[in-house]
Structure 1
Amino acid sequence: MSEHELLLPIVDEENTCLPLAVSAVSKYWDVSLPFSEAREIAKKYPNVRGSILIEGIEIAERHGLGSLILHSSLSELKKIIDMGIPPIVILPGLYETVQHASVISGYDQKEKSIIHYMPQPDQIGVIPEQQFDKLWEEDGRLMILIAPTDIISSIKVENKTREKSNRLCFVSEKLNLQNRHDDAIKTLIDAISLDETNSTASCLLGGIYNEKNSQECIKYYEQSIKHNKLCYLAYRGLGNYYLKTKQYEKADKYYTQAISINPNRFGPIYKNRGIVRLEQNIKKKAKEDFENYLKYTPNAKDQSNIKQAIQELDAECGN
């Protein structure tokens, strides 16, 4: 065990409104959050898969803990761990999961690695710190701290306005999932007014406008990329918008940029780029994309259709 590693309790239960990461960190501070409360709140989100982090954070706050949501750095992350605080970070997901929250339980200075909390007692999650930092940067190096209020108040926050801007991003996601889209837009505009460099806020706002099929999304995705050149979700969002509007060359460009940032992140992006390339009559590359879609989305519901498309493209390409 590394001297810079924190011991967290084993937690195996989670809920849409009480993510495992929040529950584990709260239990680390000897605060057991009630799943009955989380289940009641989750009734507002009957069709939501995954977790709603801000709901879990707010449950923790109602039970006496404090929180901060910060844009951070590798050096600051290590300082927080050495203070005895296990941070939660937002990282890229795999397969069909876009993002996930992970508790960082420590780091190994000698091995230059970051240690992830694993809920299974016989497993250790270790990743080289350079690889971790690159992945973390894709989503703005967001770090959520949950701890007793006296500890939270002792942490020096250089820019409290930025922290508020970050929090509004999480609140907006909750509002959007409640179909309160106008409130979510207003919240994100407020977040950007507090911190115009908040790439996450711009990307989320672009996403809502994209859902509305509004070209206003372009402005905010581009603004997001301006402040975070590795914002995978903004490139993907632009690709999605241009696919919907049948601007296939532009869609191809932005999907390709997203994939170049992280080729393993989100399997369905390959299907979308495959469709774009079919529309451009680039059949061989479309076939490769469909194959990658199946590779990175092993549980795809449309597997049989995609396999059939690959066979047809094989025949057309003379393979």
Structure 2
Amino acid sequence: MLEKIAGTILESQPEHFLSLPLVSKNEESASLPLVINVVAKYWGENIAPQATAAETKGAAMIDGIMLAESRGFASYIYKGSTKDLKKRIDQGIPPIVIMPGIQGTVQHAMVVSGYNSEERRMLTYVPEPDTVGAIPEGKFEQDWEQDDMTVIIIVPSDMKDLLKNESLKFAKSNRICFEAEGLRQRGRVNDAIEKLQKATEIDIDNAQAWCLLAGMYNETNSEQAVPCYERAIRLNPKYYLAYRGLGNYYLKKKDYSLAEAYYSKAIGINPVRFGPIYKNRAIARIQLANNQGAKEDLVKYLEQTPAAEDKESIKQAIAQL
């Protein structure tokens, strides 16, 4: 996915490439995700708070967004398109997108730094010197669609006029979605559910709102999770997290046939997005007496999650199947 981009290519299309500051992963703090730190520094502001020994990694994205807003930035969270991303680049604005994860990470954010019209590639920020990611547009769109094509724009407040007359799809309800996820990470699931119910009322066709609401219901073992996941899938048939969520729901309910079916649908959309899904499907398959399928899944789990803490016990399970 990542390729070194020769300087001649970047020089030949300066209007389609933004030079972003190099920010090391060590500069990520508990309240400022790396991507927001990069964008803020691009605008000439260092908003990263001093980290303390007690801080941990993995800030909620909304925390970083609100920190940026407290330092004079304006933010927008909406459902975009590749055309929209190119427009932002040409406006000099580096957009943040939510993309599928890999191995043990189900989802991650990245900054789009440009595009190459001739090669039809989207260029993305990589925290390494003289390196950018170059992703074919088709592949980029296919992956991005799995998380409902969410865009985060952060600009200095004096640039708000640039976007004030634009119709940004789901801007209000997506903001609520991010706020709800922040509440969930703090253990305030019921408050998150109330927010997401409001988001689905504001934009009834926002698949992200329905999927997140379903996830909250799933955490509380509520049967309301199922129709919400199904609503998300009707709105976005490529919504990986909705299929995975239904697999998790039915696995907890010990309906192993449905669990296997929904895990398989998620894997069919993206077989390398999240290694642990194979372990979950293996559990369902063992209960369905499909030991060969379970063994294959456990092998894939270890292949895709090489740092798994349960590696040794999984190896033993493979040997016994």
The Cα shift of 1:156 comes to 4.9
Once the two structures are overlaid, the 10-residue window that deviates more, 101-110 or 148-157, is: 148-157
User: Would you say the 8 A contact 1:68–1:152 is kept in 2?
Assistant: no
Per-residue CA deviation, residues 185-210 of structure 1 (Å, 9 max, x unaligned), is 11101111100111111111111111
How far is the alpha carbon of 1:262 from its aligned partner? 0.3
Contact 2:99 2:143 in 1 (8 A): yes
Work out the CA distance in 2 between the residues paired with 1:288 and 1:50. Answer: 32
2:35 to 8, 17, 21: 21
Paired with 1:151 and 1:208, the residues of 2 have a C-alpha distance of 36
Question: Which letter does structure 1 place at the counterpart of 2:315?
Answer: K
Q: CA deviation at 1:213?
A: 1.2
The answer to whether residue 139 in structure 2 is matched with residue 115 in structure 1 is no
Q: Give the paired residue count.
A: 307
Does the alignment pair 1:89 with 2:97? yes
- Contact 2:116 2:123 (C-alpha < 8 Å) held by counterparts: yes
The aligned counterpart of 2:7 is none
Q: Which residue of 1 aligns with 2:305?
A: 297
Which residue does the alignment assign to 1:286?
294
Contact kept? 1:161, 1:194, Cα under 8 Å: no
Which residue matches 2:5? none
Q: SS where residue 70 of structure 1 aligns?
A: strand
Cα deviations across residues 25-71 of structure 1 (Å, max 9, x unaligned)? 011111110323xx58x97xx7x752311111111111111111110
1:158 positional shift: 4.6
TM-score (norm 1): 0.93
Question: How many angstroms does 1:162 deviate by?
Answer: 2.2
Q: How does 1:165-314 map to 2 (within 5 A)?
A: 165-313=173-321
Q: Which runs of 5+ in 2 are unaligned?
A: 1-9
> How many angstroms apart in 1 are the aligned matches of 2:82 and 2:147?
14
Distance, in Å, in 1 between the alignment partners of 2:128 and 2:135 is 17
Deviation of residue 216 (structure 1)?
A: 1.0
- Matched AA of 2:186: Q
Residue type of the partner of 1:20?
A: L
Aligned match of 2:4: none
CA contact (8 A) 2:240 2:269 kept: yes
Is contact 2:32-2:59 (8 Å) kept?
Answer: yes
Q: Secondary structure at the match of 2:221?
A: coil
1:89 maps to a residue whose letter is V
Tell me which amino acid in the other structure corresponds to 1:98. V
CA distance in 1 between counterparts of 2:135 and 2:158 reads 32
| Distance change (3 Å), C-alpha of 1:160 and 1:126 | closer
Q: CA deviation at 1:153?
A: 2.9
Q: Supply the AA of the counterpart residue of 2:219.
A: E
- Equivalent position amino acid for 1:23 in 2: N
Structure 1: gaps spanning 5 or more residues: 314-319
Matched, 1:9 2:17: no
The partner residue of 1:164 within 150, 169, 172 is 172
Distance in structure 1 (CA, Å) of the matches to 2:59 and 2:228: 25
For the residue of structure 2 that corresponds to 1:146, the secondary structure is strand
After superposition, the C-alpha distances for 1:142-186 in whole angstroms (9 at most, x for unaligned) are 000001123233215654682110100000011111111111011
Identity of aligned residues (%): 48
